[in-house]
Structure 1
C-alpha cells in the first residue's frame, strides 16, 4: 500500500539540497556583509540568485520537479517571532507577535484571519510563473512560518545560534500551539511551490520561465518590509533531468535517505526551543546510560513531572486484506507536563529484555530520583528492529456503550519527538534531539537505551504501521470509539492521569463483502 505520508516527506526532501545551496549563496554572495554595514530593515525579502535551473524527472511514472527559486526572508536587528495557539478544537487559532520595545519583550496580537491553521501565515507570497512568451501559466499563493531546516546567519554580527523550531508544526490536525521564528540576522526559506495535491502534482514542461514573487501588502506593512523589496524576479530554466543520470541518482538517494529510513514507524514532524531555555531547563543527554543506578533513588514526592495526554485518533481508514477488514489509524501521545519523560532501559544479560526506569528532575534540571517503569523488549520485525518500551500506551476499540470490543496488537513503543503539539507551553523543547528512529531506540547490540519525550512534543505512530489497526471483520455495524490511552498500567509517574484517554467516534456500516467507514469530524476537524 502506498503511504501518503511518504509522498509528502519525499517531495519536501527533493528540494533540500537546493535549499541548502541557496542559503549558502546568500552569504557567499555578500548579502550578509552588505547588511552588516548598515541598520537592516525589520524584515527583508530577497532572492539568492536571479537565475535557477529546475530539473524535471520522470521517476517510475511519477513526475518530480526539483524546483527552488531561492526565496528568503532575513530578520533585522530583532528576531521575527510568532506564537499561534488554540484553547480547544472548537476555538479559533489566535496569533501574537513577540516584539521588543525599550529592551523588553511583549506580545502583540496579529490581525484576525492571518493564521487559519498551523501551516504558517496565510497567503504570505503570491507567485506568478510566465513562459517565454510572457503568458502566465501558473499563479498561486504560499504560506510562511519562518521555521526552516536550512536557515543560516547572513551577516557577521548575527547571533551564533538559531533557537527556533525547524518545521512549522501544522502536519498533525490536532496541534494545539506553535512557535514560528526567524533569528535576528538569519534567513528563512520562503515556500515557493503550490500546496501538494496527489491528483495535480506541480509540473512545468521543459523550457524558459520567469517567476515573480510578491509579498502580500498586509505583511509588508506589518513586518516593515521595504517597498522596493516586496517583489523578486527569478528566471527559471526547466531541463530534462532524466538525461542527467547523476541528478536522478541524487533524487533516488534522497528518496531512501536517513529521514525516510528512520521514519518507518513514526511520523517525523518536529522542532525545538529557546537557547536560554535549553541551557536552564531539562536537557538530558540522549546517550544511553552506562549502567543501572546504584543505589536506586526513590522517586521524589513532588516536583516536576511529565503529563501524558492523548490526542484523538486521526488519518483513520478502512482496509481489506486477506478477506479481513481492518480499521487503520494514526495516534499521538504528547507531554504537557513540567518535565520530560525520560526512561532508561538496562539489558538483562543474554536476553532480549531490558528493565526500564523513569527518571525525575528538580526545577533546575538536576536528576533527583528514579523508579521502575516496566520493561523494554527487542522487536525483530521488519520496519522495527529496535527496542520498544512496553508501558507507554494502549489502543482500544470500544463499542457504543464504551466497553472493549477489540484491542490493537500495537502495545509497545519507541519514544521519539515526532510532532510539535504545543510549543507555547512553559519550557517546551523547540529543538528536541531524538526526532526519529535514527536518534532513539538502539540496536540489538546495545546493553542500554535512553528514550525521551520532551515537553510540548508528541510521539505519533501513523497508520499502516504493523499492529496499528483493529480487525473489524466480524463486528456488527454501528458506532464505535477508538481509544488512545497513555500510561495504561499507571507505571509512569505523572502530574495528572485523568487526561490520558482520548476517544474518536467511528461508524461501521455496509455488508460483509463491502464494509463502509464513516469518521465524524471533531469540532469541524476532519483529520
Structure 2
C-alpha cells in the first residue's frame, strides 16, 4: 500500500472523517510570544490617529496566533502525520504581497504593502528572501523531537504569508477574505497576489510526516529571524512548541479501506492529491492553488490537485455580492461593449510525455492551458433544449460585477463517460499535432470542456479576480437532469486539462521527427473577446524510439525545462 501524503491525510481526515488535526487546551506553550499577541476577538484601531494608545500601536502588525499547547496527530502505515495549529494573524493593518516576473525563467520581484486604513506603504522584499512565486524563502522551520530533545526530523521551507484555512480573528476586519487562498503558480504564471487581511489569520504551512513508532513527540514551528524581521514579528514571538497527541487511525476507523477513503478518486475539476511529493514546498503550494482536470478515467498520470473553485455551487463560499439577484438581460446579436469582453489566451503545452494505453497504442500526453486576460470575465451559460441532452450556450457579459448583455454562442452536450457524467461546452479549444510547417498530423480526442479556473496566471491585469470562489459566479458542470448551468473563467485565471489515454495524441503511424503541439482557444470564433491575436500557441516536441517505446524530447521554454515537475515554481 502506498503512503498517502501528509497534506492529503490532513485534509481527508478533516473533511471525510471529521477528525481534523485540532489542538487541545486553551493555553499555548509559546516561547515568549503570548504577551505580544492580542487575543482573538480583540478590537485594534485601524487608523493612525494621534489618539491611538501606545498599547494599540504595539499590538499592530503580524503576530503568531497559536490555539493550543497540544495538537492531535495520527499514525498510519508506519508514519506519524502532524500539523502545528498555528496561524499568522494581522492586527490593525493588512499585509499584501505582489509577486511578478517577466518570463518563466526570470526571477520574481516581490513587494510588500502594509495597509492601514487608506494609507499604503510599499517596500521591495530583498531578493535573497524571495522564493519565486512561493513566498518568503527559508522562512519557516518545523522540528519534530522527543521530550528530551532528540531531533527526529527538521525541515526549513518557504513561508507563505497567506494561503489556505483563513480564520477571522477580529470583528473589525472584513467579513470575507480579500486575498487568494494560495501562494505560487505554474510555469506560465506572470504575477500573483497573497497576503493577510486586517482582522484575519492564515494557517502556517507546517504539515509534516516522520517515520517513527514513537508517540511522545514535540513539534516546534519557528518563523526564522530574517523573514520574521521583514514581517515585523516581535523578537520573543517567533516560535511555538506544541505536544503531539498521536492517534492510531486503524484503531479508530479500521485499516480496511482507510487509505482509499482518504485518497478518494480523482474527478474532473477537482481531485485528490495522491502521487505527489509531500515534502516539496513547491508541490505543497501547487496543491493549495489547484491544478489540472483529469483527462480520462484511466489516466496513467499522477493525482491532480484540488480545485479551489468549487464545481458544486451548493458548497460555494459567497462574500458580499450586492449585484446578485439583479435582473437578467435580453439576448442580442449586437456587438457587446469592449470593456465587458474577455481576452482568451493560449499558453504552450507542458508536462509533455509518452504512454502506451491499454490497447497498446503509443500516445503523446500533455497539459493544455487557456486563460482570460480580461477585462471582462468569460461566463458561458447552458439552457436545456427540451428533453434532449443538449443545451444552447449563451455568453453573458459583465461590467463591474453586473450582467450587461448576452448572446447565443454555441452548444453544450452531456458527456457520459467515467469521471465525467456531466455537461461540456463544445466550442472552447482545439488541440492538434502539426509539422513545423503547420500541416496537421493528428488531433486530440478532447473535444469538449467544463470550464473552471484551476490556475491563476496574472492577478495584476485590470479586472483580475483574487478570489473566484467569492464572486458569486460559480462554475458547475451539472448532472444529467440539469436544465441550466454556468461555467466561468474569471479575469486573471485559466483552466488546465491533462491529456492522457484517448484524449492524448495517437502516435500510430507518426514517424520520428520534430513536431509542434498547437493549442487554439476559441477556434471557431463563436466566443466574443477583445482580440484573437493571442489565441494560438505552439510547443516543439521531438519524437523518437520505436513502437511501444517511443521517446519524447521537449526543448526549454523561455529558458526553463517545464518537463521537470519538481522544478516548477509554485
TM-score class, shorter? 0.7 to 0.9
Match of 1:454 among 476, 490, 509: 490
Match of 1:154 among 169, 176, 189: 169
Please list the CA deviations of residues 455-507 of structure 1 after superposition, one character each: whole Å capped at 9, or x if unmatched.
1111111243x643101132111122212211011111111111111222221
Match of 1:31 among 39, 49, 57: 39
Whether the aligned pair in 2 keeps the contact of 1:270 and 1:431 (CA below 8 Å) is no
Distance verdict in 2 for CA 1:279–1:155, change over 3 Å: closer
For residues 296 and 25 of structure 1, the distance between their equivalents in structure 2, rounded to whole angstroms, comes to 60
1:355 matched to 2:392: yes
Whether the aligned pair in 2 keeps the contact of 1:73 and 1:188 (CA below 8 Å) is yes
Matched with 1:472 is: 507
Matched with 1:181 is: 195
Matched with 2:541 is: 506
For residues 262 and 562 of structure 2, the distance between their equivalents in structure 1, rounded to whole angstroms, comes to 31
Distance verdict in 2 for CA 1:72–1:9, change over 3 Å: closer
Alignment of 1:13-24 (within 5 A): 13-14=11-12, 16=14, 21=22
Whether the aligned pair in 1 keeps the contact of 2:131 and 2:158 (CA below 8 Å) is no
Greater shift in the superposed pair: 221-230 or 238-247: 238-247
The structural deviation recorded for 1:20 is: 7.6
For residues 342 and 26 of structure 1, the distance between their equivalents in structure 2, rounded to whole angstroms, comes to 48
The structural deviation recorded for 1:409 is: 0.9
1:219 matched to 2:227: yes
1:404 matched to 2:451: no
Distance verdict in 2 for CA 1:137–1:514, change over 3 Å: same
Whether the aligned pair in 1 keeps the contact of 2:95 and 2:113 (CA below 8 Å) is yes
Match of 1:311 among 342, 347, 361: 347
For residues 472 and 15 of structure 1, the distance between their equivalents in structure 2, rounded to whole angstroms, comes to 42
Match of 2:243 among 235, 239, 243: 235
Whether the aligned pair in 2 keeps the contact of 1:344 and 1:358 (CA below 8 Å) is yes
For residues 483 and 326 of structure 1, the distance between their equivalents in structure 2, rounded to whole angstroms, comes to 16
Please list the CA deviations of residues 317-354 of structure 1 after superposition, one character each: whole Å capped at 9, or x if unmatched.
21112221111111111101110011122222121211
Greater shift in the superposed pair: 155-164 or 226-235: 155-164
Distance verdict in 2 for CA 1:458–1:8, change over 3 Å: farther
The structural deviation recorded for 1:100 is: 3.1
Whether the aligned pair in 1 keeps the contact of 2:23 and 2:70 (CA below 8 Å) is no
Whether the aligned pair in 2 keeps the contact of 1:310 and 1:332 (CA below 8 Å) is yes
Greater shift in the superposed pair: 331-340 or 293-302: 293-302
Matched with 1:245 is: 253
Matched with 1:330 is: 367
SS of the residue 2:340 aligns to: coil
Whether the aligned pair in 2 keeps the contact of 1:442 and 1:449 (CA below 8 Å) is yes
For residues 391 and 103 of structure 1, the distance between their equivalents in structure 2, rounded to whole angstroms, comes to 44
Return 5+ residue gaps in structure 2 as ranges: 29-33, 46-54, 272-292, 296-303, 311-316, 564-570
Matched with 2:51 is: none
For residues 483 and 24 of structure 1, the distance between their equivalents in structure 2, rounded to whole angstroms, comes to 57
Matched with 1:197 is: none
The structural deviation recorded for 1:70 is: 0.8
The structural deviation recorded for 1:207 is: 2.5
Matched with 2:152 is: 137
For residues 25 and 350 of structure 2, the distance between their equivalents in structure 1, rounded to whole angstroms, comes to 38
SS of the residue 2:388 aligns to: coil
SS of the residue 2:226 aligns to: helix
Matched with 2:301 is: none
SS of the residue 2:167 aligns to: coil
For residues 498 and 308 of structure 1, the distance between their equivalents in structure 2, rounded to whole angstroms, comes to 9
Distance verdict in 2 for CA 1:295–1:124, change over 3 Å: closer
For residues 125 and 412 of structure 1, the distance between their equivalents in structure 2, rounded to whole angstroms, comes to 43
TM-score by length of 1: 0.84
Matched with 2:61 is: 42
Alignment of 1:17-166 (within 5 A): 21=22, 31-33=39-41, 39=56, 40-58=59-77, 65-100=80-115, 103-166=118-181
Return 5+ residue gaps in structure 1 as ranges: 195-200
Greater shift in the superposed pair: 312-321 or 331-340: 312-321
Alignment: residue pair count? 500
For residues 404 and 11 of structure 1, the distance between their equivalents in structure 2, rounded to whole angstroms, comes to 45
SS of the residue 1:416 aligns to: coil
Distance verdict in 2 for CA 1:434–1:330, change over 3 Å: farther
**Structure 1 vs Structure 2 CA RMSD:** 3.6
Matched with 1:417 is: 453
For residues 432 and 24 of structure 1, the distance between their equivalents in structure 2, rounded to whole angstroms, comes to 36
